[in-house]
Amino acid sequence: MHKSRLGNIVIDCRTGDLLSEARFWSAALGCPLPGKVDPGGRYIQLVTRPGDVQIIIQKVDHEARAHLDIETDAIDAEVARMEGLGAVIVSREKAWVVMQAPSGHRFCVGKPYRGGFEQGANAWD
């Protein structure tokens, strides 16, 4: 048995000004910018309520899109479960696996990164 749940919504932005993109999404979603922002960084995590799904604005080189991060206590088991549902592996990274759903949407499978995982995750056989 292993557990998993939705961890992040990642908004991929092909941009030279990530802070500007984060300001837009902050205002659009009603989620404040963090107190300290690295405007030259690759990620800006908006402030969400404790336990809520995290929203991350990410600077990328590919086309703009959004993807989901699924957090799990057993990456290989969750990847196998997703493959059983029809997803395919796109790449294996150091700390996560990039997958593609039958619909063509990309998502990542990685370790838990926000609180409440044990209480809020789904259990799978």
For residue 39, the model assigns a pLDDT of 73
For residue 51, the model assigns a pLDDT of 84
Q: List the chain domain ranges.
A: 2-113
Assigned architecture for domain 2-113: Roll (3.10)
For residue 27, the model assigns a pLDDT of 96
For residue 50, the model assigns a pLDDT of 86
Rounded to two decimals, the pTM is 0.88
For residue 114, the model assigns a pLDDT of 86
Which ranges of the chain have pLDDT less than 50?
Answer: none
Amino acid at 55: I
For residue 115, the model assigns a pLDDT of 87
Read off the DSSP letter of residue 47.
P
